[in-house]
Amino acid sequence: MNTPLDMHPDASTLDATHDPLLRSWVASANEAGCDFPIQNLPFGRFHTAGDPAPRIGVAIGDRILDLRAAGVVDHDDMNILMALPSAQRAALRARLSQGLAQGSDRQAAWEPCLIEQADATMHVPCRIGDYTDFYTSVHHATTVGKQFRPDNPLLPNYKWVPIGYHGRASSIIPSGQPFRRPKGQTKPADAEVPTLGPSRRLDCELELGWLIGPGNALGEPIELADAEQHLFGVTLFNDWSARDIQGWEYQPLGPFLSKNFGSTISPWVVTMEALAPFRTAFERPALDPQPLPYLDTPANRARGAISIALEVLLQTERMRIAGEAPVRLTLTDMARAAYWTPAQLVAHHTVNGCNLQPGDLLGSGTLSGPGEDEAGSLMELTGGGKRPLLLANGEQRTFLEDGDTLILRGWCEREGAVRIGLGEASGTVLPAR
């Protein structure tokens, strides 16, 4: 049985691995603005041209430490590593930190086990057996709801229960892999019958993906106080959405073909331990209903939220040909955007006895902040396509066009802590078949 989060050192506890003065013998890890300093140490799966079998690595600067080659693990199965109890995961992080720190006696042995990230092909970070997508941003839910229900945008259950639906794990793809525009049925309001064809309202969704570590037995709920012991870490996640297909199919059972054609995940999993310096209070507006007891603990209120800056960028095909950099569409922060904490998602998901397993993915749902420039989808940014975005090169966008590349980036920074990054999740739209 897990020890409650309130009663022992845990993933929200600072230790020597977070020391802002810590430096690595991998020089690139010490550069200002680096996503992967020694205080981060995210996990991922990769292969190289000389060895096509996926193996486990840890990002450090612009390099990857091959964990099996370095003798840190004796297998290449990320899900086995994720299933370790939290104390063992913390010990592994400490070992990696000590071995990669300046002056470490392991430098000579580990240096040959480094691979340049530019020479590696990254994979989906683990085997994802099941995927649940939530709807945690009240700002996103309100803005989208207004497009359909101007007088009552939020449904009555929203502020009481973390809303989610079961997604399709088989179509989750790694960052950088292009995907095809989906086809499906659509029915404009003025049409008598639906038609089949390519989606004309293809959208992005700025999300975070929370990956499960140790699971739970069927019929055994995870208490909120224990929930973070079952979370391994976080990735960037883009749940591509065909809004026109969604609008026709979603009643009465919710999204189907509008969501299951592709979802892009970033390759690096930033662990819960690495996020410890960026914890913050979880607070509800005073007039909103407070969570039911099974979704409420003093620890969750005190430090259940995490400050993660999130950015959406767009590079059109014309911009790419001209050598122009992507343009920012959105900048927000998870702590402003999310109405529920990661621990609450785990507790609610299992309150009925549902069994989670190592590698299961919990999507946050679109994370939109309160400001107009903090929206996590084009559906919000363009008012459902009524207000086209004017890009710097003169192009306009309401929804994504063929050849567009959409990029998500994320990072954590706070005074007194070293900035860490989540890397990026990118995908390019190919024409429908």
Q: Catalogue the active-site residues.
A: 140
Do residues 58 and 161 share a domain?
A: no
Do residues 59 and 157 share a domain?
A: no
> Quick one: average pLDDT of 17-31?
98
Do residues 104 and 180 share a domain?
A: no
User: pLDDT averaged over the chain?
Assistant: 95
Do residues 224 and 115 share a domain?
A: no
* Rounded distance between C-alpha atoms, residue 174 and residue 417, angstroms: 29
Asked if residue 9 has pLDDT above 60, the reply is no
Cβ proximity of 225 and 213 under 8 Å = no
pLDDT of residue 10: 67
What CATH number did the domain enclosing 116 receive? 2.30.30.230
Give the end of a domain, one of 78, 93, 122: 122
Asked if residue 8 has pLDDT above 50, the reply is no
Do residues 20 and 107 share a domain?
A: yes
Structural domain total, the chain: 2
What CATH number did the domain enclosing 253 receive? 3.90.850.10
Ranking 49-53, 270-274, 379-383, 409-413 by mean pLDDT, the lowest is 49-53
Q: Which residue has the higher pLDDT, 72 or 1?
A: 72
Give the end of a domain, one of 122, 149, 164: 122
pLDDT of residue 5: 31
Residue burial 372-404, b: 16+ Cβ < 10 Å; e: rest? eebbbbbbbbbebbeeeeebeeebebbbbbebb
Q: pTM for the whole thing? A: 0.95
pLDDT of residue 179: 98
Long-range contacts of 49-52 (CB under 8 A, 24+ apart): 49/119
Give the end of a domain, one of 102, 122, 142: 122
Strand, coil or helix: what is 68?
Answer: coil
* Rounded distance between C-alpha atoms, residue 281 and residue 335, angstroms: 9
Do residues 424 and 301 share a domain?
A: yes
Do residues 186 and 112 share a domain?
A: no
Do residues 236 and 356 share a domain?
A: yes
Which of these, 62, 35, 101, 81, lies nearest to 235 by C-alpha position? 35
> Quick one: average pLDDT of 414-419?
97
In 10 A of CB 263, how many CB atoms? 28
Cβ proximity of 116 and 62 under 8 Å = yes
Local structure of residue 367 (DSSP, 8 states): -
> Quick one: average pLDDT of 114-123?
98
Do residues 135 and 96 share a domain?
A: no
Do residues 270 and 200 share a domain?
A: yes
- DSSP β-ladder status, 405-412 and 420-430: antiparallel
Do residues 288 and 332 share a domain?
A: yes
Per residue in 122-149, pLDDT tens? 999 999 999 999 999 999 999 988 887 8
* Rounded distance between C-alpha atoms, residue 175 and residue 425, angstroms: 5
Look up the domain containing 30 and give its range: 5-122
In 10 A of CB 71, how many CB atoms? 12
